[in-house]
Amino acid sequence: MARHLDRSIGLWGTVFTLIGYVIGASIFILPGELAATSGPAVVLSYWLAAVPAVFCCVVSAQVGSVFPVSGANYVAVSRVVSPLCGFLMVWVLLAALAVGVPLVAYGLADYLAYFVTGLDRTTVAMVAVAGFCGVNILGARMSVWAQSVMVVGFMAALLVFGLGGLPHVRPELFVPLFPRGVLPILGAAIPAYFSYIGFLVIVELSEEIREPARTIPRALAISLGCVLFSYSLVGVVLPGVVPWTELGATDAPVATAAATFLPPALAGVVSLGALLAAATTLNGIILGQSRDVFALARDRILPDIFGRLNGRFHSPDVAIVTLGVLALGGVAIGATIAEYATVAVLGFMAFQIFAGIGVYLLPRRGLARFEQAAFRLGPRTLPFFSVGLVLLSGLFIALTALQSARTVGVFAGYVVAGIVYYRGRRSWLRRQGIDLEGMLRRDP
């Protein structure tokens, strides 16, 4: 049975996949809720959240260059740090996705209501998740093609909203700038980071990207510039045309704001863009994270069935369906948008800590691969970005604990459950004559 994926994604396919993953429905729905609790300076929360995103991009570029394989982050950490840490990295990511996908799916349902009334929000969200699982089973080439078309559409909608709205911004709506103080702005940076969490994900597709050592760093740089520009536009225009006290009352704040200065046809284009953005994020999550499940199965941590490749489309179909089932469970929970975002960010911050530690140890424990990499950080820049990512991610987790100690406690219990599973699986394989950790320390 074939256990390797085809390299079918070029530079612009990588860029479109990444932008589509990162700029999702959250930028169309989350700023309104955050502005309603923190004030009109919500754009500052997005700029603060961009700081760890920059560190994340650099670390991602290094991982993808050294380990151009499927599930590269997991592979790097399991080989360089420890097999248990590699597994826990994916374990916490799956938890983040179980609550992150519903945020996006509900965003899609809210903006679909602009065009079609009377639809059940939960049903729409579940159908969207199931539909994009189906698209991904058709293979990465089909998924990336669909992603590229949708990214062009929603970026055009964001530009219509942002550039069209700037002349209508009312400076008086930014006074006072911090009506509830500075601390709410800092607190809002935590869920705001949900809008940046896709940058580490692109390296999960390294095995399917042509010339990943060159393509991934270039794609990350292009994508980060597009993301920062887009978020700054929305962060300024949204509270600049609608009073921040009113933004929390609508499920589709960007559409509400667009209706105040755009003719109905163009306001509809903005809502259509939100639909496409939600769709690209759902598509990107399923495309990227199914490769982590696939990599765990290929390494025997998960049962072999999760590493099966579809005979016709050569896609990891069981891994894709597994992610879909987890996401559907998250949709059924029915939490608020901010709650979904906070829990998802908590999982991704833990994921980033593992990635940062892995990159820091690369020159010491992965010397041969590191020296041969086309993209290689220097002796000063490598510890700056890797340790910086660990510290920034730890700071965000600490801020989350201050706001919701119960959430962090439940998350810690989930991590303990992962450790119990890993040790049980390792013992079971040992009885079958398989040395799991010895196998995982081999070069992929």
* Sequence spans of domains, the chain: 11-440
Higher pLDDT, residue 1 or 123 = 123
pLDDT value at residue 277 = 78
Strand partners for 70: 205
Give the pLDDT band (50/70/90) at residue 173.
Answer: very high
Higher pLDDT, residue 349 or 168 = 168
| Element containing residue 321 per DSSP (H, E) | helix 317-333
Strand partners for 9: 209
Question: Can you tell me the mean pLDDT for 357-362?
Answer: 91
d(CA 292, CA 326): 14
Question: Beta-strand (E) ranges in 250-302?
Answer: none
Higher pLDDT, residue 314 or 231 = 231
Question: Can you tell me the mean pLDDT for 173-177?
Answer: 90
d(CA 118, CA 327): 24
Least confident of 202-216, 264-278, 305-319: 202-216
pLDDT value at residue 404 = 74
Whether the predicted pLDDT of 317 surpasses 60: yes
pLDDT value at residue 255 = 83
Residue 343 and residue 102 in contact, taking contact as beta carbons nearer than 8 Å: no
pLDDT value at residue 204 = 65
pLDDT in tens, 360-371: 998 887 667 788
Alpha carbon separation from 382 to 176, 202, 218, 389, 398 (Å, rounded)? 41, 20, 18, 11, 24
Q: Which two tokens stand for residue 249?
A: 């009352």
pLDDT value at residue 337 = 61
Alpha carbon separation from 32 to 159, 209, 282, 337, 346 (Å, rounded)? 18, 36, 21, 11, 21
Q: Which two tokens stand for residue 442?
A: 């081999």
Classify domain 11-440 at the CATH superfamily level.
Amino acid/polyamine transporter I (1.20.1740.10)
Whether the predicted pLDDT of 101 surpasses 70: yes
Cα 74 to chain centroid, rounded: 15
Question: Can you tell me the mean pLDDT for 265-274?
Answer: 81
Give the pLDDT band (50/70/90) at residue 336.
Answer: low
pLDDT in tens, 145-163: 766 777 778 888 888 888 8
pLDDT value at residue 83 = 86
Whether the predicted pLDDT of 436 surpasses 60: yes
Give the pLDDT band (50/70/90) at residue 1.
Answer: very low
pLDDT value at residue 190 = 80
Whether the predicted pLDDT of 144 surpasses 70: no
Question: Can you tell me the mean pLDDT for 84-90?
Answer: 86
Give the pLDDT band (50/70/90) at residue 177.
Answer: confident
Angle at 151 between CA 147 and CA 153, to 5 degrees: 125
pLDDT value at residue 221 = 86
Residue 315 and residue 309 in contact, taking contact as beta carbons nearer than 8 Å: yes
Whether the predicted pLDDT of 140 surpasses 50: yes
- pTM for the model stands at 0.76
Proportion of the chain above pLDDT 90, given as a percent: 11
Least confident of 80-84, 175-179, 308-312, 440-444: 440-444
pLDDT in tens, 273-305: 878 777 777 777 777 777 778 877 887 888 888
Higher pLDDT, residue 162 or 5 = 162
CB atoms within 10 A of CB 350: 24
pLDDT value at residue 171 = 92
| Element containing residue 352 per DSSP (H, E) | helix 337-365
pLDDT value at residue 8 = 62
Higher pLDDT, residue 80 or 145 = 80
Whether the predicted pLDDT of 311 surpasses 80: no
Proportion of the chain above pLDDT 70, given as a percent: 90
pLDDT value at residue 5 = 54
pLDDT value at residue 105 = 82
Report the range out of 124-128, 280-284, 331-335 with the highest average pLDDT: 124-128
d(CA 430, CA 437): 10
Give the pLDDT band (50/70/90) at residue 270.
Answer: confident
What is the rounded average pLDDT for all residues in the chain?
81
